Structure 1
């Protein structure tokens, strides 16, 4: 069956939640009936707002098949986020009260409630709106008034549905919940009817509930009750974050080494240019020096360090960088901290920069601890290596080498929407 909606209806429902997250920026979100974790995967891209992302489903086998898709990617370790994102998946029923899900900013229940019996719907209401006491709830469910427009459909949209509400029935339940637990609700939906048939409403009706008391309001069921933890934790992961000192140090060290190595290359390039200029003094009569000088200045203007342009006056190579007697180039810490934006942002203060680098074996400090030392390339070793290479090419071995060479689950109508 060809999809009736573009984009497909399940994507429209998920996008509705994503848009809500973008607008309201909740920090703690739980998806009830998370299934194959598709909504969670979309929400994890907005982890700059979300600190804790939780999924709950009664079918643990289905969750296990998809849960590893929520694991951090290699790029997440190369570019850690500033804030912490934790993801947890539980096996459990939405009719059970688990203390770990209290006080969330947002609870989502997408096409779930119609799978519950009437008695379970009553428990669901008490657990979500009374016990969990979130700041906001998004619930979507099929609109049975739209069913006659769905080709080939007889009965419910899914064999496991226990009921499918009309708009009046859904609104009656929602308003009763609001009156009982102190929420307000607005009704909307996704999946627009064809032109001329808009009176049947949306294919999926959605209720967006807001807690009138906020998360700090009275909790109907947990003030004097003992904590309950009936859910089984199936998966838990923390994304790499700058809040982790080990990760912060690793990123900072990488940034410092990147800057210092580029500065070393710049210093050696300047020194090489000065030597070459001395060797080609006689070209001045033909304008050779002027041409070389212009090319050199253009190259210097284009020099960048870790994506940021480095200006000669700003770094003052002749004043701040010098050669140690042991063959090292010395780069003052205050130069790195004040002139390298990301180094300064990551460390915060010059003292903190010194502290974070102090135990790092790949960073060598000057005797007074105020500068990073970078070993310079040994020109003599390079020249000697080149001479040996030339001797080898002139030998009989080179001639010999020239001649020898070198070696799921079944489909249902709702899936097709």
Structure 2
């Protein structure tokens, strides 16, 4: 009857709420197949994403959908995300779930015995005391539109409420625990039948009125650990110093090699134009261009030659490096102790060594005996970068 399906519409409702309100800590009660969690993990504003379900075997089977993929490791971002799955009942307290920004309960309460609803309200609204709660449940008035349906929509449902019944329960919870509620839903009825049937799925969005530090309920001093942690994973993040350093080193090595190759290509072009090699070196020296030297074999075992690429050129020429490090000083500090990178004496440039075969064999080879040629800056025209 619905396109997209009612299941997807319910999840999209939560996703849209997350986009607008940007909660950092979210828990989905009765997470089941983890499909809602799988959608929410892509939202960078969320730092802690938790699922709770009574079916531990299902959680263990589905946890893989929440694991980082290869691109999360190869291209980490500043996003910081921890995902956790707990085996437990929503009628039990657990101190680890207190004070979240958002609690979702999508098509859950109708699976609880009516006698457990008061305990559910006390745990979710009272003990957990989140900023916002989103609860969805079937609207029994809509059932008349389902051909051949008798009884409840699902064999495990213990009840299905009318709009009045749901609103009565929701307003009672608000009164007891200091919330206000907005009623809405997904799954629209046929045109002109909105007032008679309402939404197929009715939704209550509860907002807490009291400051969480002032709101107390029951024996809050007791730390309850009722749930069993089945899965916990932290996504790779550039906020981790080691991961950030690896990303910066990778970029430095790539761009330094790229700039070295560009310089060698221009040097080869000079030779093809039959210009003396020493003129090429002198030209770069006079224009403050890249310098290159006859290196010390104790400093570079690959060759007696190396190219020195100033850090400031790497930082300004590679947008990603400037984004990752924020300053030239930070760039130097991140790479200074890395064994893959060799810096000059004052740590202002990266030294790139190369083999003899990097140079063309044709033409004069005066560069081998040109001695030490130094300049402070690289000629702008010689280094054409994406930045």
TM-score computed with the length of structure 1 as normaliser? 0.79
Which of 302, 313, 321 is residue 290 of structure 2 equivalent to? 321
- 2:347 corresponds, among 366, 369, 372, to 369
**Which residue number in structure 1 is paired with residue 5 of structure 2?**
8
Q: Which residue of 2 aligns with 1:126?
A: 122
Following superposition of structure 1 onto structure 2, how do residues 25-174 of structure 1 map, counting pairs within 5 Å? 25-46=22-43, 48-174=44-170
Native 8 Å contact 1:105 1:215 kept in 2:
no
2:273 is the counterpart of 1:277? yes
Q: Identify if the C-alpha distance between structure 1 residues 210 and 317 changes in structure 2 by more than 3 Å, giving closer, same or farther.
A: farther
Q: How far apart, in 1, do the equivalents of 2:54 and 2:234 lie?
A: 23
Cα-to-partner distance string for 1:139-190 (whole Å, 9 max, x where unaligned): 0000000111112211111111111000000000000111111100000001
After superposing on structure 2, the runs of 4+ consecutive aligned residues of structure 1 that deviate more than 3 Å are 214-217, 315-318, 379-384
- Residue 197 of structure 2 corresponds to 200
| Residue matched to 2:311 | 333
Does the Cα contact within 8 Å between 1:115 and 1:160 map onto a contact in 2? Answer: yes
1:182-197 equivalence runs, <5 A: 182-197=178-193
Return the alpha-carbon distance in structure 2 between the equivalents of residues 366 and 277 of structure 1. 32
How many matched pairs?
Answer: 345
1:227-277 Cα deviation digits (max 9, x unpaired): 111100011111110111111011101111111011001111111111111
Distance (whole Å) between structure 1 residues aligned to residue 152 and residue 285 of structure 2: 76
Partner of 2:21: 24
Instruction: Name 1:401's counterpart in structure 2.
Output: none
CA distance in 2, matches of 1:141, 1:333: 59
Please state whether the residue corresponding to 1:319 is helix, strand or coil: coil
1:352-391 CA deviation, whole Å, 9 max, x = no partner?
222211221111111332210011341388759xxxxxxx
Larger helix proportion, structure 1 or 2? 1
Q: Please report how far the alpha carbon of residue 217 of structure 1 lies from its aligned counterpart in structure 2 after TM superposition.
A: 3.8
Aligned to 1:294: none
Once residues 234 and 214 of structure 1 are traced to their aligned partners in structure 2, the CA distance between those partners, rounded to angstroms, is 31
* Equivalent residue, structure 2, for 1:378: 356
List per-residue Cα deviations over 1:32-78 (Å, max 9, x = no partner): 000010000010111x1100000000000111111111101111112
Q: 1:346 to 1:380 in 2, by over 3 A?
A: closer
The 3-state SS of whatever aligns with 1:93 is coil
Q: Structure 2 length as normaliser, TM-score?
A: 0.85
| TM-aligned CA distance change 1:29 to 1:222, over 3 Å | farther
Equivalent residue, structure 2, for 1:216: 213
Q: Measure, in 1, the Cα distance between the counterparts of 2:185 and 2:207.
A: 16
List per-residue Cα deviations over 1:319-375 (Å, max 9, x = no partner): 241112121100122332334322222123333222211221111111332210011
Whether the 8 Å contact between 2:268 and 2:359 is mirrored in structure 1 is no
Q: Which residue of 2 aligns with 1:266?
A: 262
For residue 225 of structure 2, give the secondary structure of its aligned residue in structure 1: coil
**1:318 deviation in Å?**
4.8
Aligned mates of 1:153, 1:37 — CA distance in 2: 28
C-alpha distance in 2 between matches for 1:221 and 1:29: 23
The match for 1:346 is 324
Per-residue deviation at 1:317? 10
CA distance in 2, matches of 1:193, 1:334: 63
Partners of 1:123 and 1:321 in 2: CA distance: 73
Name structure 2 gaps, 5 residues minimum. Answer: 277-283, 296-304, 363-387
